[in-house]
Structure 1
Amino acid sequence: MQGRTKSRFQVPEALAMEVLLKLPVKSLARFNCVCKSWWSSFRTLHFTSKHYHNSLESSNFNLLFQRCNSVIPYFTHLSTGKDEKSLVKHDIRLPFFENGVDCPQVYGPCNGLLCLYDHGDGKAALWNPSTREFKILPQSSARRPPFPGYTGFKCVGFGYDSETDDYKIIQFVTLVYIDEESDSSPVYRSQVELYSLKTDSWKEVASVPNACPFSNYLGNNCVDGVCSWEAMMEYHRDNLILSFDMVSEKFSTSPLPELDGALTNYKLELLELNGSLGVVVYPRFGTEKSFDLWAMDGGWTKQLSVESIPGVEEPMGFWKNGEMFIGGSDHELLLFEPYTREVKKLGVKAYPDAMCHCLIAYVESLVPINGKSEHAEHIIRRPSLDT
């Protein structure tokens, strides 16, 4: 009687890739050492792009709550599950920014990447919180004229150039000349500089608009490779939206939505809204806030109007089913359902002396940034102080 031969079932490579594309980043990181072909595939543009869009379609969002105090800038990783007791997972401490002038502001997410930027001294870094890769960016090498006075970094945008597969950061630099021997007013000059991840370098943007853009605190002010800011244009009485296209590297302007009453009574925050540019408008003063949400689709259309939510300071972003994250007047993070008007406490607070705080909802991504591991940059993940 002949001995039986054991048959080996082998999964076709194409089918294996389809299965792998649906796995979380943490699992893929473990599978890096299975074979060289998998390690190489996980780094291709095709795989990273398809994996990201699969996660996006499945609404696999993660939440980071930035809540700097006067000493330590750090993030709290929040659970997105239904169990409120497991909401706060752990804190992430970023030593690179601890000796900075300001708490770093967050720009993005852009394909799962975040840009962290200190407006006080221009220190910047890119971070992929899914792969735990961190890249400290070089200081700008763009030439600046000898301008006695001081240099300020005021507005930033972070986006993706789809034509060259490049991630870019734009920064507005204000050079201020102060003549202490005369009573003349300060002289301002703006310079715009652009960073490319592919070249790991900065360059000056030649064509600079006569505009003073305002910082955007919701952070995600880039839609389809175009970054936008509310801006005060020289020679114009009304404020406009100033935009910069990461592909063409050109500026353009468009009008703001028409508001009831004076613009000075409102705060405007620009954000990405279902693939379009959106604006959240809310009163500048008071702790009983109403919110209007506008979307740009050939023209401005009001999408949502929420009236009189007591004990609210500011909007902090939107969640999966149209819910709004809001900051309470007691520094607590809340989730507001616009249609039922239900306000849910999430059990996590910013500090009373917080220099800045924001909420970032991002989708897991494998996009590489040619940086170092969090461990190599001394980034610390530890149990949260809230737990």
Structure 2
Amino acid sequence: MQGLIKTRTELPEMLVLEILSKLPVKSLTRFRCVCKPWSSSFETPHFITKHHQNNIKNNNLNLLLKRCHGNTRDDIHYFSQLLTEKNQNFRVKHNIHLPFFENFVHAPLVHGPCNGILCLAEPVVGHNVALWNPSTREFKILPQSTVQRPPGREYTIFDRLGFGYDSQTNDFKVVIFVSNSFSWENEEGMSIYSHSIDQVELYSLKSDSWKEILFPGVDGFASDLFNNYVNGSIYWQVFAIDDLFLSFDMVNEKFSTLPLPEFGGSLEQYYLELLDFNGLLGAIFYPREGSGKSFDLWVMNGSWSKQFSVESVLGVERPLGFWKNGELFLESSDQELVLFDPSIQELRNLGIHAYQETMRIAAYVESLVLLNGRSEREECIIRRPAGGESN
């Protein structure tokens, strides 16, 4: 009898990379040590894009919850990574502390996610801005702007900031509004403070530099949005003579405006939140007062149209963001995180608590995007397993 002949079949390289592009970032990080070609391939724009598209296609969403667990808004804010696998009921996996922002009240403001990246900024006087990839655990502190500003004024980088992605140049960009702050006393002797926007500055991750861009002069806008990047543009709410949205196109780097939906009320009676709804700009309106909250979602797709209405949900305060299948995360009147399913009108308490109005939800897909920054460990970022800790 002839001996068995062992044969070795090698898969084509493109097929191997196709298979690898469907794996989570944690696995790919381990596989970097298998061979140098694999490690190099994981850093190519083609593989990074393919990996990101696979996660979007399979709706592989991850959740970060920013919150404050103390007794006041001024206590230290941190992030909680929630388990999102089936039957894990959004339990806390890790609590993440970012020392870079812990000296600032209510810090950090969070913008994004955009292609798996979050932009974090010091509130009000936003001199400290950072980009964070929670999947690769890379953290990049942005350089200070070198753009010249008119002398003799007290400048503040206003807390209206935008963060998004330029698909044409494969670049991430940050927009900040630089204001001139000044004060005076009125006839009663009270100090009055005001801001006027003098210029707008744009940061490019690819060039790691800032530049000044033209601003149309729309003043009086202020909207602290959590997810203000949708499908290539950044949006802010404008409070001026007319209520408008201000948008900034990440590719052509130009501003424009669009009207609010005709939702049948006034912003004196309703709160407004801008959200990403299936890749489209969504605007949720809900009443400022009353125990039974109603939510109207309007979607911009060439023109505004009402997507759905939810009537009289008891025990909730405000929307936080959408989850899979149109479910909506809400903050309850007891400062608990709850999940509402509009299709069956079911409200589920997830047992996660935070001090009032400090919760922000970031639903993101994993990304291999390189920031040319440093690791979380080098920046002293601490991840603590939740273990037996209370949610």
Deviates more, 1:153-162 or 1:80-89: 80-89
Relative to structure 2, which stretch is displaced further, 65-74 or 178-187? Answer: 178-187
Matched residue, 2:159: 154
1:72, distance to aligned residue in structure 2 (A): 2.1
Residue 314 of structure 1: aligned partner: 318
1:105 is displaced (CA, Å) by 1.5
Within 2, Cα distance between the matches of 1:285 and 1:152? 33
Relative to 1, partners in 2 of residues 1:117 and 1:376: Cα closer, same or farther, differing over 3 Å?
Answer: same
Shift of 1:101: 4.0
Q: 1:345 aligns with which of 340, 344, 349?
A: 349
Q: 1:78 to 1:107 in 2, by over 3 A?
A: same
Q: State the shift of 1:154 in Å.
A: 2.5
Counterpart in the other structure of 1:46: 46
Gaps of 5+ in 1: none
2:333 is equivalent to residue 325 of structure 1 = no
Q: 1:229 and 2:233 equivalent?
A: no
Q: CA contact under 8 A between 1:216 and 1:270: conserved in structure 2?
A: no
1:280 maps to 284
Secondary structure at the residue paired with 2:326? coil
Listed one character per residue, the Cα deviations across residues 53-103 of structure 1 (whole Å, up to 9, x for unaligned) are 101110111111110343322111111134356711110111110112432
Judge conservation of contact 2:232–2:251 (CA < 8 Å) in 1: yes
Q: How much has 1:152 moved relative to structure 2?
A: 5.0
Secondary structure of the residue that 2:220 maps to in structure 1?
A: strand
Matches within 5 A, 1:110-149: 110-122=114-126, 123-149=128-154
1:227-256 deviations in Å (ceiling 9; x for gaps): 1111134xxx32111101111111101110
Q: 1:201 aligns with which of 206, 209, 224?
A: 209
1:23-102 alignment runs, 5 A limit: 23-68=23-68, 69=70, 70-84=74-88, 87-102=91-106
Q: TM-score, normalised by structure 1?
A: 0.92
* Cα displacement (A) at 1:10: 1.4
Looking at structure 2, the residues matched to 95 and 35 of structure 1 have their Cα atoms a distance apart, in angstroms, of 35
Q: Secondary structure at the match of 2:268?
A: helix
Q: Residues of 2 paired with 1:186 and 1:28: CA distance? A: 51
1:19-65 Cα deviation digits (max 9, x unpaired): 10111110000111111111111111111111101011101111111
Shift of 1:5: 5.1
Counterpart of 1:257 in structure 2 is 261
Q: Deviations over 1:319-352 (max 9, x none)?
A: 1011110000111000001121111011111135
Select the residue among 375, 378, 385 that pairs with 2:377: 375
The code of the aligned residue for 2:131 comes to: L
In structure 1, what residue type is equivalent to 2:125? D
45-54 or 65-74, which deviates more: 65-74
> Percent identity at matched positions?
55
Q: CA deviation at 1:369?
A: 0.8
Flag the 1:300–1:215 CA change in 2: closer, same or farther, 3 A: same
Q: CA deviation at 1:148?
A: 4.1
- CA shift digits 1:154-190 (9 cap, x unpaired): 3111100111111001112221233569989766431
CA contact (8 A) 1:81 1:87 kept: no
Please report the RMSD computed on the Cα atoms of aligned residues, expressed in angstroms: 2.2
- Whether the aligned pair in 2 keeps the contact of 1:102 and 1:120 (CA below 8 Å) is no
Letter in 2 for 1:206: L
Partner SS for 1:27: helix
State the 1:223 CA deviation.
1.7
Identify if the C-alpha distance between structure 1 residues 138 and 260 changes in structure 2 by more than 3 Å, giving closer, same or farther. Answer: same
- SS of 1:155's equivalent? strand
CA distance in 1, matches of 2:244, 2:29: 45
Matched letter for residue 242 of structure 1: L
What secondary structure is seen at the aligned counterpart in 2 of 1:242?
A: strand
2:21 and 2:30 mapped to 1: Cα distance?
14
Q: How many residues align?
A: 381
2:337, 2:75 → 1: CA distance?
Answer: 21
Deviation at 1:149, TM superposition (A): 4.8
Matched AA of 2:63 = L
One-letter amino acid matched to 2:122 = D
Are the aligned partners of 1:147 and 1:177 in contact in 2 as well (CA < 8 Å)? no
The amino acid of 1:23's aligned partner reads L
Equivalent position of 1:362 in the other structure: 364
Residue 220 of structure 2: which of 209, 212, 235 is its match? 212
Instruction: Give the unaligned 5+ runs of structure 2.
Output: none
Deviates more, 1:15-24 or 1:196-205: 196-205
Counterpart-to-counterpart distance in 2, 1:339 and 1:273:
16
CA separation in 2, counterparts of 1:15 and 1:242?
A: 44
